[in-house]
């Protein structure tokens, strides 16, 4: 049995690791393992199985090591390339910026002009809003003054009407009191007049009654005297 599973020439390693060139070698290794004829009943055959497995492992390690070496070499070259690329990008970026600087400066100036114009427009809009708010506040204040003035006039008119009504009510009360006083005085005079008449009538009635009583007494006395004289006459006549 060969010492190595598969022999690959050094010059073919680069090709093996590019353009999927490693696949044929893996396929070949699989075929060797698949076609391996073994007999587990003999120590020699079992040793060959172990040797085959070891060769597969060593083949893997060898291929991986070669790949690492290639990658390390590529990394060194890639680092040099990246360094050159970085330098190229930086210098060409500077050259690009330098070539565009006049236009960039002009664009920056235009942006600054636009910014200043925008700030000016915003300031004008704010001032216009302030002026509008100020005018609105003035109109609202004027409206408030008119409302206050109208309310003051209305209050003054209402107060005037109230005072006039109070004066009318006072005059009416005074007139009512005056009329009541006059009526009371008239009633008192009338009551006194009627009382005087009543007193006079009572006095006249008393005098008339006294006269009538006196006349009646005189008449009764005369009648009694006449009766007494008659009785005396009769008595004397029959004595």
Structure confidence by residue, pLDDT tens digits, 82-126: 888 788 788 888 888 888 888 888 988 999 999 999 999 998 898
The pLDDT, as a whole number, for residue 12 is 56
Reported as a single tens digit per residue, the pLDDT across 7-48 is 665 555 556 666 666 777 788 788 888 888 878 888 888 888
**CB burial of residue 5 (10 Å; 0-12, 13-18, 19+):** buried
- Average confidence score pLDDT of the chain: 79
* Distance from the Cα of residue 50 to its chain's centroid: 86
pLDDT at 109: 92
Q: Measured in Å, how far apart are the chain's first and last C-alpha atoms? A: 232
53 band by pLDDT with thresholds 50, 70 and 90: confident
Query: pLDDT-based confidence at 239, cuts 50/70/90?
Result: low
Cβ pair 67, 16 in contact under 8 A: no
**Two tokens at 64?**
């991986």
């Amino acid at each position: 049995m060969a010492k190595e599973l598969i022999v690959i020439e050094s010059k073919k390693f680069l090709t093996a690791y590019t353009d999927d060139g490693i696949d044929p070698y893996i396929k070949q290794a699989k075929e060797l393992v698949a076609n391996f004829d073994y007999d587990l009943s003999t120590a020699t055959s079992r040793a060959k199985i172990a040797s085959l497995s070891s060769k597969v492992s060593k083949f893997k390690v060898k291929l991986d090591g070669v790949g690492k070496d290639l990658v390390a070499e590529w990394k060194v070259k890639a680092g040099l390339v990246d360094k050159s690329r970085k330098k190229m990008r930086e210098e060409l970026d500077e050259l690009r910026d330098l070539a565009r600087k006049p236009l960039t400066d002009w664009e920056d100036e235009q942006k600054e002009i636009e910014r200043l114009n925008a700030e000016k427009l915003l300031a004008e809009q704010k001032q216009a809003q302030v002026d509008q708010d100020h005018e609105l506040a003035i109109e609202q204040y004027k409206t408030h003054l008119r409302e206050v003035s109208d309310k003051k006039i209305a209050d003054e008119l209402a107060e005037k009407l109230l005072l006039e009504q109070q004066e009318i009510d006072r005059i009416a009360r005074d007139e009512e009191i005056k009329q009541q006083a006059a009526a009371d005085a008239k009633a008192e005079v009338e009551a006194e007049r009627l009382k005087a008449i009543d007193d006079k009538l009572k006095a006249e009635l008393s005098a008339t009654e006294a006269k009538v009583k006196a006349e009646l007494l005189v008449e009764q006395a005369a009648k009694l005297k006449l009766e007494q004289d008659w009785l005396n006459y009769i008595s004397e006549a029959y004595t």
